[in-house]
Amino acid sequence: MHVIIDGYNLLFAVDRLRPKSPPSALEPARRWLMRQLRERHSPETRITVVFDSRQPTARPRDDQFGIKVCFAQRESADDLIEELIQSATVPAKMMVVSNDNRIREAARRRGCVVLGCLEYYQPEGKTPKIAPSQQTSSKPEMVSPEEVEELLREFGQPSDGQAP
Protein backbone atom coordinates (compact mmCIF):
# COMPACT_ATOMS: atom_id res chain seq x y z
CA MET A 1 0.00 0.00 0.00
CA HIS A 2 1.21 3.49 -0.83
CA VAL A 3 -0.28 6.18 1.43
CA ILE A 4 -0.27 9.76 0.15
CA ILE A 5 -1.08 12.43 2.70
CA ASP A 6 -1.99 16.08 2.24
CA GLY A 7 0.33 17.16 5.06
CA TYR A 8 -0.87 20.58 6.14
CA ASN A 9 -4.48 19.54 5.51
CA LEU A 10 -4.06 16.73 8.06
CA LEU A 11 -2.16 18.91 10.56
CA PHE A 12 -4.94 21.53 10.49
CA ALA A 13 -7.66 18.86 10.74
CA VAL A 14 -6.14 17.32 13.88
CA ASP A 15 -5.58 20.79 15.37
CA ARG A 16 -1.77 20.63 15.40
CA LEU A 17 -1.74 23.83 13.34
CA ARG A 18 -4.18 26.72 13.23
CA PRO A 19 -4.65 29.51 10.71
CA LYS A 20 -2.76 31.93 12.99
CA SER A 21 0.07 29.54 13.87
CA PRO A 22 3.44 31.27 13.54
CA PRO A 23 5.91 30.01 10.91
CA SER A 24 8.05 28.62 13.75
CA ALA A 25 5.26 26.08 14.47
CA LEU A 26 5.52 24.41 11.05
CA GLU A 27 8.66 22.31 11.53
CA PRO A 28 7.68 20.92 14.97
CA ALA A 29 4.22 20.05 13.59
CA ARG A 30 5.80 18.25 10.60
CA ARG A 31 8.13 16.27 12.91
CA TRP A 32 5.17 15.31 15.10
CA LEU A 33 3.30 14.08 12.02
CA MET A 34 6.24 11.94 10.88
CA ARG A 35 6.41 10.22 14.28
CA GLN A 36 2.66 9.59 14.24
CA LEU A 37 2.78 8.11 10.75
CA ARG A 38 5.65 5.77 11.50
CA GLU A 39 3.87 4.51 14.63
CA ARG A 40 0.69 3.82 12.66
CA HIS A 41 2.18 1.99 9.69
CA SER A 42 4.47 -0.95 9.20
CA PRO A 43 7.95 -0.25 7.79
CA GLU A 44 6.88 -1.86 4.49
CA THR A 45 4.21 0.78 3.88
CA ARG A 46 5.27 3.48 1.44
CA ILE A 47 4.26 6.86 2.79
CA THR A 48 4.49 10.17 0.93
CA VAL A 49 3.54 13.41 2.66
CA VAL A 50 3.11 16.51 0.52
CA PHE A 51 3.38 20.04 1.89
CA ASP A 52 3.07 23.44 0.25
CA SER A 53 6.32 25.40 0.37
CA ARG A 54 7.37 28.95 -0.31
CA GLN A 55 11.06 28.12 0.03
CA PRO A 56 12.62 27.66 -3.40
CA THR A 57 15.31 25.38 -1.96
CA ALA A 58 12.97 22.87 -0.31
CA ARG A 59 13.55 19.52 -2.01
CA PRO A 60 11.87 16.13 -1.62
CA ARG A 61 13.57 14.09 1.06
CA ASP A 62 13.19 10.96 3.10
CA ASP A 63 12.92 11.86 6.75
CA GLN A 64 14.50 9.87 9.56
CA PHE A 65 11.42 7.62 9.64
CA GLY A 66 11.71 6.56 5.98
CA ILE A 67 8.76 8.69 4.91
CA LYS A 68 9.08 10.60 1.65
CA VAL A 69 8.44 14.27 2.28
CA CYS A 70 7.68 16.47 -0.74
CA PHE A 71 7.45 20.25 -0.77
CA ALA A 72 5.41 21.63 -3.67
CA GLN A 73 7.07 24.80 -4.91
CA ARG A 74 6.08 25.84 -8.42
CA GLU A 75 2.66 24.31 -7.93
CA SER A 76 0.33 23.68 -5.01
CA ALA A 77 0.48 20.59 -2.84
CA ASP A 78 -2.91 19.69 -4.35
CA ASP A 79 -1.43 19.79 -7.87
CA LEU A 80 1.48 17.59 -6.82
CA ILE A 81 -0.82 15.08 -5.08
CA GLU A 82 -2.98 14.92 -8.19
CA GLU A 83 0.12 14.20 -10.28
CA LEU A 84 1.06 11.36 -7.91
CA ILE A 85 -2.45 9.93 -8.22
CA GLN A 86 -2.37 10.14 -12.02
CA SER A 87 1.04 8.49 -12.24
CA ALA A 88 0.11 5.54 -9.99
CA THR A 89 0.57 2.23 -11.77
CA VAL A 90 -1.78 0.38 -9.36
CA PRO A 91 -4.14 3.03 -7.94
CA ALA A 92 -6.21 0.41 -6.09
CA LYS A 93 -3.18 -0.05 -3.81
CA MET A 94 -2.98 3.65 -3.02
CA MET A 95 -4.64 5.43 -0.11
CA VAL A 96 -5.10 9.19 -0.37
CA VAL A 97 -5.70 11.20 2.81
CA SER A 98 -7.13 14.69 2.39
CA ASN A 99 -10.20 16.79 3.07
CA ASP A 100 -9.78 18.59 -0.25
CA ASN A 101 -12.69 17.70 -2.55
CA ARG A 102 -10.61 18.05 -5.73
CA ILE A 103 -8.00 15.59 -4.48
CA ARG A 104 -10.61 13.17 -3.16
CA GLU A 105 -12.47 13.16 -6.48
CA ALA A 106 -9.26 12.64 -8.48
CA ALA A 107 -8.37 9.70 -6.23
CA ARG A 108 -11.86 8.18 -6.50
CA ARG A 109 -11.78 8.42 -10.29
CA ARG A 110 -8.54 6.38 -10.32
CA GLY A 111 -9.92 3.79 -7.86
CA CYS A 112 -7.77 4.74 -4.87
CA VAL A 113 -8.88 4.28 -1.29
CA VAL A 114 -9.90 7.76 -0.12
CA LEU A 115 -10.06 8.90 3.49
CA GLY A 116 -10.78 12.26 5.03
CA CYS A 117 -8.21 13.46 7.54
CA LEU A 118 -10.26 12.64 10.64
CA GLU A 119 -11.36 9.31 9.18
CA TYR A 120 -7.70 8.44 8.75
CA TYR A 121 -6.34 9.91 11.95
CA GLN A 122 -8.12 8.35 14.87
CA PRO A 123 -6.64 9.52 18.21
CA GLU A 124 -5.63 7.11 20.95
CA GLY A 125 -4.49 4.36 18.61
CA LYS A 126 -7.87 3.68 16.99
CA THR A 127 -7.62 2.32 13.47
CA PRO A 128 -9.09 4.14 10.48
CA LYS A 129 -12.48 3.02 9.25
CA ILE A 130 -12.85 2.52 5.53
CA ALA A 131 -16.52 2.74 4.63
CA PRO A 132 -17.73 1.11 1.41
CA SER A 133 -18.80 4.54 0.08
CA GLN A 134 -15.17 5.66 0.28
CA GLN A 135 -14.00 2.80 -1.90
CA THR A 136 -16.39 3.24 -4.79
CA SER A 137 -15.13 4.00 -8.24
CA SER A 138 -16.75 4.11 -11.65
CA LYS A 139 -16.39 0.33 -11.91
CA PRO A 140 -16.72 -2.29 -9.19
CA GLU A 141 -13.45 -3.83 -8.06
CA MET A 142 -12.80 -7.16 -6.45
CA VAL A 143 -10.33 -7.26 -3.59
CA SER A 144 -8.02 -10.23 -3.68
CA PRO A 145 -7.40 -12.30 -0.54
CA GLU A 146 -3.80 -11.01 -0.56
CA GLU A 147 -5.02 -7.40 -0.52
CA VAL A 148 -7.40 -8.18 2.35
CA GLU A 149 -4.51 -9.69 4.32
CA GLU A 150 -2.32 -6.65 3.60
CA LEU A 151 -5.04 -4.27 4.77
CA LEU A 152 -5.66 -6.31 7.92
CA ARG A 153 -1.93 -6.30 8.70
CA GLU A 154 -1.77 -2.55 8.19
CA PHE A 155 -4.94 -1.49 9.96
CA GLY A 156 -5.65 -4.39 12.31
CA GLN A 157 -8.73 -6.49 12.94
CA PRO A 158 -12.02 -4.72 13.70
CA SER A 159 -12.70 -4.59 17.42
CA ASP A 160 -15.99 -5.76 18.97
CA GLY A 161 -18.85 -3.49 18.04
CA GLN A 162 -17.25 -2.32 14.79
CA ALA A 163 -18.57 -3.38 11.45
CA PRO A 164 -16.07 -5.54 9.53
- Assigned domain for 30 exists: yes
pLDDT the model gives residue 147? 63
Q: What is the pLDDT along the chain (164 residues), one digit of tens a residue?
A: 899 999 999 999 999 999 999 989 998 999 999 999 988 888 888 999 999 886 655 555 656 567 899 888 778 899 999 999 999 999 999 999 999 999 999 999 999 999 999 999 876 555 544 443 334 444 334 556 666 666 666 666 555 544 44
- Assigned domain for 41 exists: yes
Indicate the SS3 state at residue 31: helix
- Assigned domain for 46 exists: yes
Q: Is the pTM of this model over 0.75?
A: no
- Assigned domain for 162 exists: no
Q: CATH number of the domain that 118 lies in?
A: 3.40.50
Count of domains in the chain? 1
Q: Apex CA 97: angle with CA 18 and CA 127, to 5°?
A: 95
pLDDT the model gives residue 145? 62
- Residue-number span of the structural domain to which 126 is assigned: 2-155
- Assigned domain for 163 exists: no
pLDDT the model gives residue 52? 87
- Assigned domain for 19 exists: yes
- Assigned domain for 136 exists: yes
Indicate the SS3 state at residue 69: strand
Alpha-carbon distance of 25 to 61, in angstroms, equals: 20
- Assigned domain for 164 exists: no
- What is the Cα gyration radius of the chain? 16
